């Protein structure tokens, strides 16, 4: 009987954790670029700031969704990038810093967001680190799922997003 109780005590938390879904595996931009060179996948960048309430909501409600986390973990190298961070970053052979010349904004955030500084902004890059597009604003799991699927493969090169959406079937329950 004691053995059964111990097994139940150990099993219940494990079931609870697996029911919550998989967490997104976040990389630095340098790690993502290196991984994409050896095992090509597009790169997804979440550009956030510490003070941004919508960024926190995106983390809590969208990136924690099991389907969104699964897509990010299996089809992308996901990068969490503090757009006001102070760490120097080397990207595409160039060193980017936050030296105060752009206010509080890191030079890499400015480049990836094409100077349109609004948070949160997610950025889609090819496996060779070329910019596809930044997408600004909070997105629900149902809103971001088709974007993730569209930019994960070659659909974005062959058809418009509007045409893609005509045949897209969501796995996210509304």
pTM equals 0.86
Specify the pLDDT at position 20: 53
User: For residue 174, what pLDDT is reported?
Assistant: 72
For 127-133, what is the mean pLDDT? 97
What pLDDT, on a 0 to 100 scale, did the predictor assign at position 92? 94
b/e burial code for range 12-21 (CB count within 10 A of at least 16 → b): eeeeeeeeee
What pLDDT is attached to residue 161?
97
Domains in the chain: ranges and CATH? 22-167 (3.40.30.10)
- Residue bearing the bigger pLDDT, 130 or 18: 130
- Expressed in angstroms, the distance from the first to the final Cα of the chain is 43
3-state SS, residue 122:
strand
Instruction: Give the pLDDT of residue 22.
Output: 80
CA distance 123 to 42: 10
Q: What are phi and psi of 96, to 5 degrees?
A: -110, 140
Q: Assess whether pLDDT exceeds 70 at residue 128.
A: yes
The CA radius of gyration of the chain, in Å to the nearest whole number, is: 18
- In tens, the pLDDT along 42-71 reads 999 999 999 999 999 999 999 999 999 999
């Amino acid at each position: 009987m004691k053995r059964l109780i111990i097994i139940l005590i150990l099993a219940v938390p494990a079931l609870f954790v697996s029911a919550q879904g998989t967490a997104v595996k976040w990389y630095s931009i340098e790690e993502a670029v290196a991984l994409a060179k050896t095992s090509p996948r597009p790169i997804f960048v979440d550009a956030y700031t510490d003070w941004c309430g919508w960024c926190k909501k995106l983390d809590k409600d969208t990136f924690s969704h099991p389907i969104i986390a699964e897509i990010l973990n299996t089809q992308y190298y996901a990068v969490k990038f503090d757009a006001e961070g102070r760490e120097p970053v080397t990207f595409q052979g160039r060193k980017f810093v936050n030296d105060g010349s752009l206010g509080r904004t890191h030079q890499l955030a400015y480049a990836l967001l094409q100077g349109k500084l609004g948070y949160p902004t997610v950025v889609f890059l090819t496996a060779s680190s070329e910019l596809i597009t930044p997408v600004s604003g909070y997105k629900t799991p149902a809103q971001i799922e088709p974007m993730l699927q569209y930019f994960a493969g070659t659909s974005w090169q062959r058809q418009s997003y509007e045409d893609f959406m005509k045949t897209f079937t969501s796995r996210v329950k509304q």
